[in-house]
Structure 1
Amino acid sequence: MDAAPREHRLDTPDGELCWFEWGAPSDRPSFLLLHATGFHARLWDQLVAALPPGVHVIAPDHRGHGRSAKPSTLADWTATADFLLPLIDRFAGNPLTGGGHSMGGYVLTRLAALRPAAFRHIVLVDPVIMPPTFYEGGNAPEIVDPAEHPVARRRSRWDSWEAMAAHFSARPPYSHWQPAVLADYCRYGLLPAPDGEGWELACPPHLEASVYQNALRTDPYGWLGAVTVPVSVIRARTGEREGNLDFSVSPTWPELGATVGAVRDEQWAELSHFIPMEAPARLADLLAGI
């Protein structure tokens, strides 16, 4: 694959959408890759590098993330999905194989339900979809000021991406990532600080915190039945989670694949929730084989 993607901007009703593109549309399906909360589209670089030559790949920055528009807060993931609809419509007639990690997987299910003709297959990589009873029982986190959420206190300012990478390289979960993926996360996950002094996270901590406050408030089973394309589910190892921010094990309901009639339902038990960061080439092989 081309080493560097082309960066594009698309005006939407909810602000500017930044997206990246490798290759060009052809008679083969294109890949649409959707990242997780707090990350950005260029975290897919190592996976894309492992795909066969000549494939077409589209990877957007979600609203509030990367180089896309920054609202004052981020509501539930339905709004995150709807923000991407103009990009999906841009490629009407060019069937997509979708791959979505964590929030990206949840979002991908809604896109496939709203635009069934746009997709030929969707791959949900640990998509953070809970059992139906979770949404019925009012178990969503209590709404509090996002500034009080632990994520809001993340360090936002850095002297350089190299300093950020060095800081995280020995700390879980980043220490388990492939070094090249961590470098991409830091290199492309910072933007120049407004005051001209150093760099700041492209997903501001208060926005990431608002995602965690709102993400699980909408029941995806309201549209999962409308997903008609083949679905693959890939889950990380299971275990008891030590709080909502513990991603050493899978946050996905183990019965999700059976519930949606997945054509592939696999547990990659040696990996944490951060599957694309720990095994990008393995995930690339799976996507290329669909």
Structure 2
Amino acid sequence: MSSNPTSHFVIIPNRPVVQEDGDIKQDRLKLHYWEWKGRQPTILFCHAASFHGRCYDRIINEALSGFHVIALDFRGHGRSQTHPPPYRFRWFGEDVLEFTETLNLSKNNLIGIGHSLGGYALTWAAAAASKQLFQSLLLLDPVILSPAMYQESENYSLISEFILQRRSQWSSIEDMMSRLKKRETFSQWPKDVLRNYCTYAVDENHKLVCAPDGEASIYQSSNQPDSDIYALIEKSKYISHITIHIVRSSTTILSWNALDISPTEPELVKWFKTGRDTQFENVRHLFPMEQPQIVIDIVKELMEKNNKPLSHL
């Protein structure tokens, strides 16, 4: 597998897309993805909100060398199509389902690895699919909240207000890196991971592709009733056949950044017949970027298990 992936676009028909006048219409959605060619099975990477598919290059290159890997850029992120807010949380799950079906990825014993929003989207797709979509899922701090949170009227207004004040324009990639590494959120990122984020998070004018108002709308939608995934999981005929490993960050406050705490329902594993739960203490929500070795080791273990013959059958 080459460490330099190729860039591809795919058109997904009949998806909800916000128009310039604010109307939501069923329209064509242009999604972008990166592809590392290699042997089967195929591994689909789905990223966190406001990031993109190239944030996990170190994990892919060190843990999945030689395998066929696809890293999707969600709508409003990376090189995929953008539109005005809102960005509804469940749309990302629907997009993943349509994306995998359009590329016929499930024929290759598909493995899904998703971080944060990406973990939610993969789970949504797996639960909504009319067949078994994945062989296994690795969910890294998925934004699947406690069931009661979807019934509450509280929104993420404070987080959204903070996001809306973020800088979104820089003079260069180097300028962006030098400023971000001084911020708490990015201060612990290895330099190569930070450079990858900065390189692919901006357009040709060094402006954030995932604009602050778009990111804020994602968080605002995350605990709305239409984002509740539990009924979908309960009704699914196929998700019980998927091996699911949930990896959670700390639930204790490690800083004053509310986004550092794990958003995942602690009892989520009980919703999956073949679920497994791992929690790391003193690890923050962005651990795949801050401490990629944690995920590298877990992914290597996943692939070793995947390659073992099923002798018990």
Q: TM-score scaled to structure 2, two decimals?
A: 0.83
The residue number in structure 2 matching 1:287 is 299
Select the residue among 222, 228, 237 that pairs with 2:231.
Answer: 222
- How far the C-alpha of 1:16 sits from its partner, in A, is 0.6
CA distance in 1, matches of 2:107, 2:198: 35
Aligned length: 279
For the residue of structure 1 that corresponds to 2:114, the secondary structure is strand
Give yes or no for contact 2:87–2:214 (8 Å, CA) kept in 1. no
CA distance in 2, matches of 1:71, 1:52: 33
Indicate yes or no: 2:263 matched with 1:251: yes
- How far the C-alpha of 1:282 sits from its partner, in A, is 2.7
Select the residue among 191, 201, 211 that pairs with 2:208.
Answer: 201
CA distance in 2, matches of 1:30, 1:280: 21
The residue number in structure 1 matching 2:42 is 30
The residue number in structure 2 matching 1:56 is 68
248-257 vs 95-104, which deviates more? 248-257
Distance 1:117 1:259, change over 3 A: closer
Q: TM-score scaled to structure 1, two decimals?
A: 0.89
- How far the C-alpha of 1:72 sits from its partner, in A, is 1.2
Give yes or no for contact 1:233–1:262 (8 Å, CA) kept in 2. no
Which consecutive unaligned segments of at least 5 residues does structure 2 have?
16-28, 303-313
- How far the C-alpha of 1:134 sits from its partner, in A, is 1.7
The residue number in structure 2 matching 1:9 is 9
The residue number in structure 1 matching 2:86 is 74
- How far the C-alpha of 1:176 sits from its partner, in A, is 1.4
Which consecutive unaligned segments of at least 5 residues does structure 1 have?
194-198
- How far the C-alpha of 1:50 sits from its partner, in A, is 0.9
Select the residue among 206, 218, 238 that pairs with 2:251.
Answer: 238
Q: Percent of pairs identical after alignment?
A: 33
Deviations 1:70-99 (A, max 9, x none): 121133221112122332011241121111
Distance 1:140 1:122, change over 3 A: farther
The residue number in structure 2 matching 1:105 is 119
CA distance in 2, matches of 1:185, 1:124: 20
Give yes or no for contact 1:75–1:215 (8 Å, CA) kept in 2. no
Read off the aligned partner of 1:119 and give its amino acid letter. Answer: F
Deviations 1:95-123 (A, max 9, x none): 21111111111111011112342200111
CA distance in 2, matches of 1:34, 1:281: 18
Indicate yes or no: 2:138 matched with 1:129: no
For the residue of structure 1 that corresponds to 2:155, the secondary structure is coil
